Structure 1
């Protein structure tokens, strides 16, 4: 399969914020947007984000999305560095949830706040700075926010909330010309999922159940996100797009 070549004119003059961008999907998204000509603010709790940003020739910010001042801090960092904000990619999140009966209050609060609450707060701070029309917001949901999977209750509920947040915000912001969409990744090979791949049951259900018969890569998610921010998606809003190798459509092993 040939890689899609970057177009350095696609997002020339545009500025993107990508949260959770130190590694994994977020780093892949930042790399794609930079290759397509955008200036990118990479945000992450991990100091590694500064190295990732430097490698891409972009700007990094070490900040936890759960900090109550995160939205305004991120907005001001982007404006200081680049003078504008066009795209917000809400990617930051955590994995490793449990069954409900094994989930204490701290775990539930942590997943709901990190994977959903922080997204609402950051978006609230960024929206006033987006161009009207022309602003784009892309949220990261999950196939587990669409279908059930045992042992992921707080994570799955938060990701389902992201999907509904996307639809809700799309309706609210469309009159201003700001479009809001989401991608729902399947199993993507990242540092966050590496531990799960050691679980034989998880591997059998997820990897063998994906019709395209391979793990997804961060670039597989970055492409659809770039599409949502492009002029090709000027009439697309409120969509939650599974990017899962066919898992939700026809999960099965080789027949």
Structure 2
């Protein structure tokens, strides 16, 4: 059955690969992005996720309701801590909650949030996540973002830890409506943001990560899983964070991709 899916960030990268797969499968896709309209979208709306007024205006203008929401848009740490927190945390939260409050997501819809392997130890930092959650609205969130004292890459890691936590909590809130909420955590992916992540991580460290699993991921590697969660036969999958990394996180957990052997670790020891 064809579904109507709303995506953020489908003009490029993982979002665009997701869009193309959904359209090829016969689904209708509406895209929200600060970039130009992508080929294949049934509708495209300019939306700045760092600006709550932009989100509110776009949501108010959306016709009908949706069977899925893919929160794919995001920014890298080298783009600055304030922008990272505004987009990756408060923008994602605001558009999701605004769509829910406006009745734009159908019962038994699916929400998929893009997290990251950077957020894999989210449960060690519940105190920091709670500080982000304490901002009850976007205005308060902006104050948190503007007062954040650590680096942009640190803000990025925290933002993705927050995404995993938010995903799991939102799944519980919405289980009564049959709305499933999951997150996907990519490792390195060859998107237009890759040079920014390489800058944040270090070229040598990024190369080491990719060597552990054979290559850098493509956007379509991620899109396959996002589409499955949004529109595929995944109806009993809820509240999980799914690493899509060809085993990189498994290797780092059990040791066949030993982080202690990485350039970053060697540099710290020296």
Q: TM-score, normalised by structure 1?
A: 0.80
Q: 1:216 and 2:189 equivalent?
A: no
Shift of 1:231: 5.3
Distance 2:224 2:232 in 1: 14
CA RMSD of aligned residues (A): 2.2
Residue 93 (structure 1) aligned to one of 62, 70, 74: 74
- Mark the CA change 1:196 to 1:112 in structure 2 (over 3 Å): closer, same or farther: closer
Aligned counterparts of 2:77 and 2:233: Cα–Cα separation in 1: 35
| 2: CA distance, partners of 1:243 / 1:72 | 32
Counterpart of 2:92? Answer: 119
Tell me the distance in 1 between the aligned counterparts of 2:247 and 2:233: 23
Aligned counterpart, 2:9? 20
Equivalent position to 1:135, from 102, 105, 109: 109
- Between the aligned partners of 1:168 and 1:196, the Cα distance in structure 2 is 28
**1:144 paired residue number:** 118
Deviation digits for residues 138-183 of structure 1 (CA, Å, limit 9, x no counterpart): 00000001159x9821000000000000000000000111110010
CA distance in 1: counterparts of 2:196 and 2:162, whole angstroms? 25
Q: What stretches of structure 2 of length at least 5 have no aligned partner?
A: 123-150, 259-270
3-state secondary structure, aligned to 2:106: coil
Q: SS at the partner of 1:187?
A: coil
**How far, CA to CA, are the matches of 1:57 and 1:68 in structure 2?**
23
Whether the 8 Å CA contact 1:170–1:181 is kept in 2: the answer is yes
The answer to whether the 8 Å contact 1:141/1:163 transfers is: yes
| Secondary structure in 2 matching 1:17 | strand
Provide the secondary structure at the position in 1 that maps to 2:7: strand
Answer whether contact 1:78 1:85 (CA < 8 A) is retained: no
Which 5+ residue runs of structure 1 have no aligned equivalent? 1-10, 99-106
How many matched pairs? 222
Aligned partner of 1:249 in structure 2 is 250
Counterpart selection for 1:206 from 209, 216, 219: 209
What TM-score, normalized to structure 2? 0.76
User: Which whole-Å CA distance do the structure 2 matches of 1:43 and 1:92 have between them?
Assistant: 9
Distance 2:49 2:170 in 1: 19
Mean CA deviation greater in 198-207 or 28-37 = 198-207
Quote the Cα distance in structure 2 between the aligned partners of 1:236 and 1:227: 10
Q: Distance in 2 between matches of 1:113 and 1:223?
A: 28
Partner residue of 2:268?
none
